[in-house]
Amino acid sequence: MAVDIDWKNLNFAYTKTPFRYVCDYKNGKWDEGKLTEDSTVKISECAGVLQYAQTAFEGLKVYTAEDGRTVAFRPDLNAERMACSAKRLEMPVFPEDKFLEAVDMLVKANCEYVPPYGSGASLYIRPVMFATSPVLGVKPAVEYQFRMFCTPVGPYFKNGIKPLTLRVTDFDRAAPHGTGHIKAGLNYAMSLHAIVDAHNLGYDENMYLDSTTRTFVEETGGANFIFVTGDGKIVTPLSESILPSITRRSICYVAENYLNLKVENRQVRLDELKNFAECGLCGTAAVISPVGRIDNHGEIINFPSGMQSMGKTTKKLYDALTGIQYGRLPAPKGWLREIKK
């Protein structure tokens, strides 16, 4: 039976779908893993996740391609990044092949919730891992749960592709040698006050700076930056404390190999923002969202691309990336994992 969802008007929000995948780690090993209809989790009040935030998550999308195939975009990289997150947080690694099998099982079981081609929506997959056994002294737990659920979503930013206004924030989301490069829940807890404050002041997002010198651009709370120079070069900030975005890495590949653009991954100084022609945020949720204006403590940087539409080069990147994701352009080998219903 077809589900009754207004695909075109979906927000980036949770809609409960019938099945989720759950796998528990106990006595030093992961169990078989299975699908369940139970969307709730019952754990000890003293569970490691509740006391010391021992948890990491991922985010990836599944699309209906132009030819009707159901495809996941580079889920192998999410499996790999989740393994890095687990290691950094002293959690057991969830095997990468099991992760991919879970994606297949989950999507097949919830196949009616994969938005149709052309709707602009996608099925967002949220893998999450957390410490379930009790800990009181500060130490890693011994039991964990890996869970993967999915929910159909629309655009992350409400205004779709209208350029965003950011402010440079004095808050930090990650410390040098900390956890900024992994997808730990604690990084997002760190960013909540800053984002509420930004929204209250009328900004869409925060631009975080490096917390040592406050002179280099890092990222936002949920996306990496891409900049375009006046002569059409792509520049992306290099930092050890930002999340290695799969979207950003894909865009850089697409820029070089599909669009013949030069790409520089290097430190980006705050004081060079005014020289860029275009700016965008990139991520699974954000896809590529244009930024029109940045407020640096009263100094306003208005990108020449303006506040009405995406810059020319950003649009080319957007069209190429989404073209690959929706199967309109040939994908590099291994980028799309087809899920047979």
Q: How far is the CB of 161 from ligand PLP (least distance, A)?
A: 17
Which window, 201-209, 234-242, 277-285, 324-332, contacts ligand COI (CB under 6 A)?
Answer: 277-285
> Within 13 Å, how many C-alpha atoms sit on residue 47's CB side?
17
Q: Which of 162, 183, 315, 340 is labelled catalytic?
A: 183
Alpha helices (runs of H) in the chain, residue ranges in sequence order: 48-52, 75-88, 96-109, 185-200, 246-257, 312-325
Whose CA is closest to 148, among 171, 178, 123? 123
- In the residue annotation, 29 being an active-site residue is answered as no
**Partner in contact with 224, chosen from ligand COI, ligand PLP, none, beta carbon below 5 to 8 Å by kind:** ligand PLP
* Residue of 148, 285, 324, 336 interacting with ligand COI (CB under 6 A): 285
Q: How far is the CB of 59 from ligand PLP (least distance, A)?
A: 5
* Residue of 284, 305, 313, 314 interacting with ligand COI (CB under 6 A): 284
* Residue of 30, 35, 43, 59 interacting with ligand COI (CB under 6 A): 59
Q: How far is the CB of 185 from ligand COI (least distance, A)?
A: 11
Number of residues engaging ligand COI in binding (CB under 6 A): 5
Residues that bind ligand PLP (CB under 6 A): 59, 219, 222-224, 243, 245-248, 283-284
Q: How far is the CB of 277 from ligand PLP (least distance, A)?
A: 22
Nearer to ligand PLP, 73 or 303 (CB): 73
Q: Tokens 């030093």 map to which residue?
A: 28
Beta carbons within 10 angstroms of residue 51's beta carbon: 17
- Told to check if 72 binds ligand COI by CB under 6 A, we report no
Nearer to ligand PLP, 223 or 270 (CB): 223
Q: Distance (Å, rounded) from C-alpha 287 to C-alpha 289?
A: 6
Q: Distance (Å, rounded) from C-alpha 224 to C-alpha 213?
A: 19
Three-state secondary structure along 110-134? CHHHCCCCCCCCEEEEEEEEEECCE
Whose CA is closest to 261, among 223, 225, 229, 217? 229
Q: How far is the CB of 218 from ligand COI (least distance, A)?
A: 15
* Residue of 92, 178, 283, 311 interacting with ligand COI (CB under 6 A): 283
Beta carbons within 10 angstroms of residue 202's beta carbon: 9
List the structure tokens of 119. Answer: 């709707």
Q: Which residues pair with 217 in a beta bridge?
A: 209
Q: Which residues bind ligand COI (CB under 6 A)?
A: 59, 222, 283-285
- The catalytic residues are 183
